[in-house]
Structure 1
Amino acid sequence: MNDYAVYVCTQCGFEYDEAKGWPEDGIAPGTRWEDIPDDWSCPDCGAAKTDFDMVDIERA
């Protein structure tokens, strides 16, 4: 099992799930947070990548 993390925007609550990626911005499923460019911003509110926090989730 790959231990993918979820990162949540502290400004609006948008969730970036490493397992799902964000294809709308060209980020493929399985892309790790550290591999996303530092200038990437929240697609919902425009917050900086530094405004995201990792959260623990339970996967079935």
Structure 2
Amino acid sequence: MTEFAASHDTETDPRTRMECGVCWTVYDPAEGDPLGRAAPGTPFAALPEAWCCPTCDAPPVKFLRLDDDR
């Protein structure tokens, strides 16, 4: 199993925000990623394989679950 798949397997809540471990950009499913062509409401686990951080081009495997009280 790849690291990318492993990071997606642990995500259970489609509203979970993810933070880039390189530049700290936050991917918020409620907002999506207009630059990466992810519509609002797209869970991190549903992003295309070719998706990368819109700020630093880090791959999804570099993203960490953001535990916050929103």
Q: TM-score, normalised by structure 1?
A: 0.84
Which residue is equivalent to 2:65?
54
In structure 2, relative to structure 1, the CA distance for the partners of 1:32 and 1:7 (3 Å cut) is same
Percent identity over the alignment? 34
> Which amino acid letter does the alignment assign opposite residue 54 of structure 2?
P
Count of equivalent residues: 58
Q: Displacement, 1:55?
A: 1.1
Gaps of 5+ in 1: none
Match status 1:40 vs 2:40 = no
Structure 1 runs (4+) deviating above 3 angstroms are none
Pairwise CA RMSD: 1.6
Match status 1:22 vs 2:48 = no
Q: TM-score, normalised by structure 2?
A: 0.73
Equivalent position SS for 1:53: strand
Q: Displacement, 1:3?
A: 6.0
